[in-house]
A and B are shown apart, each in its own frame.
Chain A
Amino acid sequence: DAGVIQSPRHEVTEMGQEVTLRCKPISGHDYLFWYRQTMMRGLELLIYFNNNVPIDDSGMPEDRFSAKMPNASFSTLKIQPSEPRDSAVYFCASSPRTAGDYGYTFGSGTRLTVV
């Protein structure tokens, strides 16, 4: 298995532009998570899905952020409009069941820079 695949690896965009981050989880994993990592706040859980259904989006910082999972093999995190404070590394992770049993597999992340 190729693991959790995220694209793009790096994204530089101007303030106000729409940004879409993509994730392909490991086949057969029921759970998908989106995290944001910054020096100031560490690792923050934004949203997670179970069997393609969003379960908890309480970590999504604002209405500018949205996430979808149209099928078991693909998810997107969209920021519209983007702001400089959104600059961070965004990670996608998947788990075959609840992470308490198996742990997560993380993707390599997307480094987002909003200028």
Chain B
Amino acid sequence: AQSVAQPEDQVNVAEGNPLTVKCTYSVSGNPYLFWYVQYPNRGLQFLLKYITGDNLVKGSYGFEAEFNKSQTSFHLKKPSALVSDSALYFCAVRGPSGGSYIPTFGRGTSLIVHP
């Protein structure tokens, strides 16, 4: 079975400081990993994904994520946080291609960026 853990319900960071939202996963085989963002009263929006290749993946709005196979982690990062980054962030994982695997989503982490 595949699973995702987002150990922090909430992350607080000051504007201009770097931010990290943590995600660890469990899956059989090589993972497909995703980050989504949800702004208030909106659906989830795709931010970035890792399937293969460079462990550092760049996505929308200046976000990036680092895949670490040995630690089974896929942390979301941004060098300089903006107040507008405040939102709910979801990590998701699925198994390798060849099947009809559907991603499993984490419970989400609320990011609050203070002015």
Chain A residues with a Cβ under 8 A of chain B: 4, 33, 42-43, 45, 48, 50, 55-56, 91, 93, 98-101, 103-109
Contact present for B43 and A48 (CB under 8 Å): no
Instruction: Give the contacting residue for B94; candidates A4, A100, A105; CB below 8 A.
Output: A100
Closest CB in chain B relative to A2 CB, distance in Å:
13
Closest CB in chain B relative to A86 CB, distance in Å:
19
With contacts A42-B108, A50-B100, A93-B43 known, what are 18 further pairs, Cβ within 8 A?
A33-B102, A43-B44, A43-B105, A43-B107, A43-B108, A56-B102, A98-B97, A99-B34, A99-B94, A99-B102, A100-B94, A100-B95, A100-B96, A100-B97, A103-B46, A103-B49, A105-B46, A109-B41
Say whether chain B's binding surface is mostly helix, strand, loop, or mixed.
Answer: loop
**How many Å lie between the Cα of A107 and that of B42 in the bound state?**
8
B95: which A residues are within 8 A, CB to CB?
100
Chain B residues with a Cβ under 8 A of chain A: 32, 34, 36, 41-46, 49, 51, 90, 94-97, 100-103, 105-108
A105: which B residues are within 8 A, CB to CB?
46
Instruction: Give the contacting residue for B43; candidates A42, A45, A109; CB below 8 A.
Output: A109
16 A-B Cβ contacts within 8 A? Answer: A4-B43, A42-B105, A42-B108, A43-B107, A48-B102, A98-B94, A100-B32, A100-B51, A100-B101, A101-B51, A103-B46, A104-B46, A105-B46, A106-B44, A106-B45, A108-B42
Closest CB in chain B relative to A109 CB, distance in Å:
5
B36: which A residues are within 8 A, CB to CB?
103-104, 106
- A103 — nearest CB in chain B belongs to which residue? B46
